[in-house]
Amino acid sequence: MRSVRLLAILASSAALSAAGCVASRGSAPRVSKPVTSSTDFSRGAVFDKITADELDQLTNAYADRYRTLVEDAVDVVLRGNGDARQRAVAQRMLVASTTSVYDIVTNGDPFTQVLDLTVVVTLTSQVWIDADRATREFGEDRARSLITALRRAREEIWEIAARVFSPDQLSALDFLIAGWRKDNPTVDDVYFVRFNDFNESRGQSFVAEAGAGGGLFEPIDRAVDQAKSYERLIERMFYLSKRAPMLVGWQSQAVMDDVLAKPEVGRTLGNLDSVTKSVDALSKTADRLATDIPELLARERRTLLEEIDRRQTAIDGTLVQVKAVVDSIAPITEQVQLIAGTGERMLDKVAELRGPVPPPDPDAPPAKPFDPADYQRLLAEASTALREANTLAAQGESLAASPAVKGLIDEVTKATQERIDSVEEASRRVIWQLGAVLAGVALLVFALAVVYREIGRRGMRGGA
């Protein structure tokens, strides 16, 4: 039972440390709890204080509104639009921007949500409006609706941000976003840029000040916030699951539009149009389509997967490190399991020995005299267990002291470090407890042996 418990502790520690790594990588700064209000940047009106939960609701509602705005605008672009490329670009924009916004609001921390939403919505509007991509892609008439939608979405998110940040902090955030844009003027796919991607010293000091009460925020109770964030995360699961089918639908539409926008498909469709008068040609073209399209789809999929693989590389690096750390915990786990097993065997043996001493049976044959071999065997087992415990302690220490492991631990995250420390601490505790138990067992065995011998002697005397 003990080994099972130990294993459970170790497994959950490893899982938590891995989760900690993912969380620390994926989430931005956290602030929570009473999110104080701000003055309206334009009219000086004073909002009531809002809680983190209310802010959370604001961002959720905003995400749905953003989707509606962009969806309507993209509808206008697509309506009666025969240009396959324009359709593909518009569909991609719709899918990427809305997925990004929903991705942000599924973060459990409303403060991070507001920061990331402000960054993404502002950068998206800058790409499509200020860099004039909308007009270049769709022409002036079709672009108008998208420009209006993105402009409005941007206004709304800054209004929400104005309830979180002071006007001066808004200005600083604006400078940070502009700085990123100036550093990355050619990046058009800004949907998955997050506040954490900004220069660390610039961005983190801004967040630290805002979160520590330097601005409108009160100092945060992080423990409470952490608990609330898990609760919100569960709500997010339901929130996203309701919207996932729609996003998946758009995604498949976007893939289809992408395929149709390929020149070869365009040519094929052109051929099809021109040979419709000939049944034979139509049939052949149809045949070709039947073979081409799956191939194209397969190619598209391959390209997509390759792209995902490429982007995954960075993440993989981290995961490999996490895995290495988790793997390095495995020998400890085995050792602890072994010790625990030995300990259990020892305890069973003690239980055997400690069992109630039966009253002397007058008909029974003379009791077996004290056999030092039993005592020696027990001591040998105890000694083995202690040796293993020492080895384990030494391994634990050498593991912790190893520069390689230290480097790994440092590289992964502080969270992992804490988990490993706790595992190491737990194993030490187990070893010490086992040591104490074994010492107790040795004493007990010795005492029992003496008692046993005394009983045996008396029995022999009685017999005589």
Partner 1 sequence: MRCNRNRNPHGTPDAATFSRRSALALLTLPAVLPSALAAATSLLSRSAVAQETPMPSGVAVPPADVDATPYPNYIEEPAVRGTVRCVGSSAVGLLINAIRPGFTESQPDIAVEMISSGSSSGPKALADGTCDLAPMSRDMRASEIEAVEKARGDTVDAIDIAVDAIAIGVHVKNPLTRITLRDLDRVFGRERRRGGAPAVKWSDLGVTDAPIADRSITLFGMGAGTGSNGIVQEIVLQGGPFRTSVNEEPVSSSVVQAVATDASAIGYCSVLFESVRVRNLEIESLDGSGFVAPTDAHIRAGRYPLARTLRLYYLRGALAKSPAVRKFLQFLVSQDGQEAIEDMRQKTLTPASARMMFDKLGADPTK
Binding footprint of partner 1 on the chain (CB under 8 A): 41-44, 122, 125-126, 129-132, 147-148, 151, 154-155, 158-159, 161-162, 166-179, 182-183, 199, 201-202, 205-206, 209, 214-215
The distance of closest approach from Cβ of residue 165 to partner 1 in the complex, given in angstroms and rounded to an integer, is: 9
Instruction: Please provide residue 50's backbone torsions phi and psi, each rounded to the nearest 5 degrees.
Output: -120, 150
> If you search the block for the tokens 């359709």, which residue do you land on?
87
The distance of closest approach from Cβ of residue 337 to partner 1 in the complex, given in angstroms and rounded to an integer, is: 47
Closer residue to partner 1 in complex, CB, 168/280: 168
Please give the Cα distance from 341 to 357 (Å, whole number): 27
Closer residue to partner 1 in complex, CB, 119/386: 119
Closer residue to partner 1 in complex, CB, 42/303: 42
How is residue 39 annotated by DSSP?
B
Closer residue to partner 1 in complex, CB, 52/134: 134
Please give the Cα distance from 132 to 125 (Å, whole number): 10
CA 138, 144, 150: angle at the middle one, nearest 5? 100
Closer residue to partner 1 in complex, CB, 28/296: 28
Closer residue to partner 1 in complex, CB, 151/349: 151
Please give the Cα distance from 334 to 383 (Å, whole number): 19
DSSP one-letter string for 46-106: BPPPB-HHHHHHHHHHHHHHHHHHHHHHHHHHHTT---HHHHHHHHHHHHHHHHHHHHHHT
Using DSSP's 3-state secondary structure scheme, residue 394 falls into helix
Specify the amino acid at residue 435: G
The distance of closest approach from Cβ of residue 89 to partner 1 in the complex, given in angstroms and rounded to an integer, is: 18
Are 167 and 188 in contact, with CB atoms under 8 Å apart?
Answer: no
The distance of closest approach from Cβ of residue 260 to partner 1 in the complex, given in angstroms and rounded to an integer, is: 30
Element (H, E) at 423: helix 414-463
Closer residue to partner 1 in complex, CB, 114/162: 162
The distance of closest approach from Cβ of residue 219 to partner 1 in the complex, given in angstroms and rounded to an integer, is: 13
The distance of closest approach from Cβ of residue 131 to partner 1 in the complex, given in angstroms and rounded to an integer, is: 6
| Integer CA distances (angstroms), 42 to 155, 178, 423, in order | 12, 21, 54
The distance of closest approach from Cβ of residue 282 to partner 1 in the complex, given in angstroms and rounded to an integer, is: 47
Please give the Cα distance from 40 to 36 (Å, whole number): 13
Closer residue to partner 1 in complex, CB, 157/420: 157
The distance of closest approach from Cβ of residue 53 to partner 1 in the complex, given in angstroms and rounded to an integer, is: 24
> If you search the block for the tokens 């043996």, which residue do you land on?
349
